[in-house]
């Protein structure tokens, strides 16, 4: 039965929102800079505005253009949500939270949920006792079998739960020979990580979205302060590279 629900829809929705925010922030910054340039460089032959009026109009331009994309607190909340999603996709956490799922029909009633919980704990306890009687060599072999099964389909509940149970038993063992078991568990988890393509794709989307939120925040601060951050050149370069890659 399936264990790992990867929040693909949520990640993509947050990524799209971050992309829209960064795009709007770029446009707002460009429009603000254009307004400031006009105020600082009046058309030849016209009477320039007094300094006080120029200041007033610049402040109005800041407010007008900054209002065209999410406010700082909204961007911060968005970034925090992305960070929480990234942490939820940590492989050690996914393995640690894996559960043995007994063959009980799914249902919404409390009795079914309680029966499933009790059965899952019973299966894990039985499996853990079995592991505790194994020699280091047998336990290392069991770890590699579990890793192979999990690598073939990382979303399968039992294979990840088996890895977690083996890790628990191996970590509790002392003495010569058990290091190889812990090494086998580590290698197994690394194998799962290398095979879990969907998870890697989502982590990459989260990373990109976090960068876009950072970009929108930086443009917002540059408008607010009236001074361009040095990082804007990097964002412009990154955006140019993205357009080139999409055009290729």
Q: What string of DSSP letters covers 206-235?
A: HHHHHHHHHHHHHHHHHHHHTS--TTHHHH
State pTM to two decimals: 0.79
Residue 114 has pLDDT above 70, yes or no: no
Mean pLDDT across 36-65: 93
CA distance 226 to 91: 43
Domain count along the chain: 1
Contact 102, 119 (CB under 8 A): yes
pLDDT in tens, 163-213: 889 988 988 888 777 888 888 888 888 888 888 888 999 999 999 999 999
For residue 106, being part of any structural domain is answered with no
37-51, 92-106, 168-182: which range is least confident on average?
92-106
Q: Measured over all CA atoms, what is the biggest interatomic distance in the chain, rounded to whole angstroms? A: 94
Chain centroid offset of residue 136 CA:
36
CA distance 218 to 232: 8
**3-state SS, residue 101:** coil
For the chain, the residue count is 248
Residue 45's domain comprises 8-90+206-247
CA distance 152 to 16: 31
Q: Give the DSSP H or E segment for 148.
A: helix 136-152
pLDDT at 85: 93
For residue 184, being part of any structural domain is answered with no
pLDDT in tens, 57-90: 999 999 999 999 999 999 999 999 999 999 989 9
Nearest Cα neighbor of 125 from 168, 157, 92, 160 is 168
For residue 187, being part of any structural domain is answered with no
CA distance 214 to 202: 18
């Amino acid at each position: 039965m399936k264990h790992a629900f990867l929040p693909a829809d949520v990640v993509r929705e947050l990524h799209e929102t971050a992309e829209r925010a960064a795009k709007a922030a770029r446009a707002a910054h460009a429009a603000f800079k254009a307004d400031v340039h006009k105020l600082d460089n009046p058309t030849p032959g016209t009477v320039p505005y007094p300094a006080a009026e120029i200041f007033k109009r610049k402040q109005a331009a800041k407010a007008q253009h900054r209002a065209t994309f999410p406010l700082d607190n909204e961007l911060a909340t968005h970034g925090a949500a992305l960070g929480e999603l990234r942490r939820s996709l940590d492989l050690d956490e996914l393995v640690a939270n894996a559960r043995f799922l007994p063959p009980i029909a799914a249902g919404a009633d409390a009795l079914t949920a309680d029966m499933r919980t009790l059965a899952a704990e019973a299966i894990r306890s039985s499996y853990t006792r079995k592991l505790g009687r194994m020699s280091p060599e047998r336990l290392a072999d069991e770890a590699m079998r579990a890793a192979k099964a999990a690598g073939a389909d990382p979303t399968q509940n039992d294979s990840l739960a088996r890895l977690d149970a083996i890790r628990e038993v191996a970590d509790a063992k002392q003495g010569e020979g058990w290091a190889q078991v812990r090494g086998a568990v580590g290698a197994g988890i690394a194998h799962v990580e290398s095979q879990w393509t969907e998870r890697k794709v989502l982590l990459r989307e989260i990373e990109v979205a976090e960068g876009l939120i950072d970009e929108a925040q930086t443009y917002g601060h540059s408008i607010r302060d009236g001074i361009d951050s040095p990082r804007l050149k990097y964002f412009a370069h990154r955006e140019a590279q993205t357009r080139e890659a999409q055009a290729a």
